[in-house]
Amino acid sequence: MKRAKVYFLVIFLCAIFSRPVHADDVIRIGIISTTFGYAPVFVGKEKGFFKREGLYPEIIVISRNEQIVQALISDSLQFGNVPPNLLFVLRQQGNSDIKLIAGSFNGTTYSLIALPKYKKMEDLKGGSRLAMSGITSAAALMMKQMLKERGVLYPRDYSLLSIGGSTTQFTALQSGQVDGALLAQPLSIMAVEQGFSNLGDAYKLMPDYQLSAIGVREGWAQKNRSVVVRYLKALVSTYRWLHDNREEAIKILPGITKLDPKYIAKSWETYTQTQIWPRNGEVNLKGVQTVLNMIAEEGMIKKPLPKPEEIVDSSFLDEARKALPR
């Protein structure tokens, strides 16, 4: 059934977005949700950085990482936000054509948020239900590691429900559909204000963690190198603008993210000062290694283990940055 749904989605996207990419044309970018961390692509569009490069982004929300990867493979997306762990697994299955070309979430602001009755991680023992964007997602790996260190083991002590991005998870938590979720800022801040419990901050426990990055199908990217380089020029320009223009960023981000302005300043500070939004667009290879170590421990890939560089192609970013002012 799951394969059928993915197949249907890919066919659907192909049918809608079958035009090739030309010099002044649409590029199709897949993201998993419209939460705060995905703001850069919307900012880049609003501030004209993509238009300056002759590119017009269509931002498509797809609720599963696996579906974004399938859409990249089918060329119904040109760019997609994907977690490194999924690419390592695909490589061992014989698909090595998806590569990471730039960072998007070079770290995380996740906190483990639970219903008010839970006061510490150990309280989740006994069949609690925890929300995830995907059971094998990078966030799920992080959650399992956090809980494992407290003696709370999957699947013995809790179950994971794959229900979509952070906004959907927060809604499920508010309705009591789930007992907990790993929420990013500012949703985690909002949840605590509403009386939910913060059982632990993942970003403090794992400072080097490549949650996700910009993925492309390398065969397509090599044939359309100019498009990829121009996309990365726009992306890096956006990151640099966000880092350098605090006051204006704080003014426009509420309209883009639909969040209360009181949460924006704190989140902007976290995402920029900790380089979760990487100023120069690079992938954090140390963070990719952290992910690799975790999936190896989970038994998701076999030895000999690959190296982080095997799923990263930095040549496009190098070319883009050379074309930009310092």
Residues 6+ apart with CB under 8 A from 170: 181, 183, 187, 190, 191
Give me the mean pLDDT over the 196-209 stretch. 88
pLDDT 10s digits, 141-187: 889 999 999 999 999 999 999 988 888 999 999 999 999 999 988 89
Q: How confident is the model at residue 18 (pLDDT cuts 50, 70, 90)?
A: very low
pTM: 0.84
Q: What is the pLDDT at residue 21?
A: 54
pLDDT 10s digits, 229-274: 999 999 999 999 999 999 999 999 999 888 888 899 999 999 999 9
- Percent of the chain that is helix, strand, coil (3-state, to 5): 50, 15, 35
Classified as helix, coil or strand, 149 is: coil
pLDDT 10s digits, 88-105: 999 999 888 999 999 999
Q: What is the pLDDT at residue 2?
A: 43
pLDDT 10s digits, 210-230: 999 999 999 999 999 999 999
Q: How confident is the model at residue 8 (pLDDT cuts 50, 70, 90)?
A: very low
Closest CA to 214 of 323, 57, 109: 57
**Encoding tokens for residue 163?**
């229900």
Show the domains of the chain with their CATH numbers: 2-107+209-322 (3.40.190.10), 111-205 (3.40.190.10)
Residue 135 DSSP code: T
Instruction: State the chain's mean pLDDT as an integer.
Output: 90
Distances (CA, A) of 216 to 82, 262, 323: 9, 35, 21
Distances (CA, A) of 2 to 5, 6, 64, 175: 5, 6, 11, 25
Distance CA 221, CA 75 (A): 10
Work out the burial of residue 235: count CB atoms within 10 Å of its CB; fewer than 13 is exposed, 13-18 middle, 19 or more buried. Answer: buried
